Amino acid sequence: MKKVAVILSGCGVYDGAEIHESVLTLQSILKHGGSYQCFAPDKPQLHVINHLTGEVAEGESRNVLVEAARITRGEVKAVTECNADDFDLLILPGGFGAAKNLCTFAVEGPDCEFDGDVLSVCKAFADAGKPAAYACIAPALAAKVYGNSVNLTIGNDAGTAEALEQFGIKHQNCEVTEVIIDSGAKLVTTPAYMLGQNLLEVGEGLDKMVQAVFAMQ
């Protein structure tokens, strides 16, 4: 059984982890015989978005770990408790939280800062030669972790791809139902809602992502 560490970035597409992507990924892990433990940073999120209006909820503050617990039905740990030695692989679903709370790519592009605890965990998996998968905009973190001409995708948005290439990666355009595999880096990426229009096609891509990263040794 593959033991998977999953890092979430809150709860909700505009300011946290994308809920559909997170749930579909967890379902796929179980469907293909794996188990998972979710983690998230224990810190305030960048800001709170009213998901009905799309506007910033001025004066509100929410904690990334507490919000992630909404997705996991309470079963989530602080990312500082994630030890790469305890898992076979790592997966990061997307959502703007990945680019706002795990790093600041959403607001600062290639000049962004990265959450030190999250980056440390991601690098630990990479340095140990353990497979990892990043969905949607989460490859912004993978670009920092791997760099050095690694192949990855966020779909086909030229501006975002160009910004990511400043980390030294090679971006490849990819359909929502497909994945990009870098066998050397043991990295799998898929566009998910960076490109997807509905649950079915996003779910197909995420399922292929899980299957591909499970197949890596």
Q: Residues 95-150: pLDDT tens digits? A: 999 999 999 999 998 888 999 999 999 999 999 999 999 999 999 999 999 988 89
Claim: this prediction has a pTM higher than 0.95: yes
Indicate if 136 belongs to the active site: yes
Report, as ranges of residue numbers, the positions in the chain whose pLDDT lies below 70.
none
Do β-strands 151-152 and 180-182 pair in parallel, antiparallel, or remain unpaired?
Answer: unpaired
C-alpha dihedral (179, 97, 90, 109), degrees to nearest 10: 70
73-93 per-residue burial string, b: 16 or more CB within 10 A, e: under 16: eeebbebeebebeebbbbbbb
Do β-strands 35-40 and 77-78 pair in parallel, antiparallel, or remain unpaired?
Answer: parallel
Q: What is the pLDDT of residue 164?
A: 93
Q: Which of 18, 49, 4 is nearest to 193 (CA)?
A: 18
Angle, in degrees to the nearest 10, between helices 158-165 and 139-146: 20
Q: Which of 43, 42, 58, 52 is nearest to 12 (CA)?
A: 52
User: Per the residue annotation, which of 11, 82, 103, 136 is the catalytic one?
Assistant: 136
Per DSSP, 88 falls in state: S
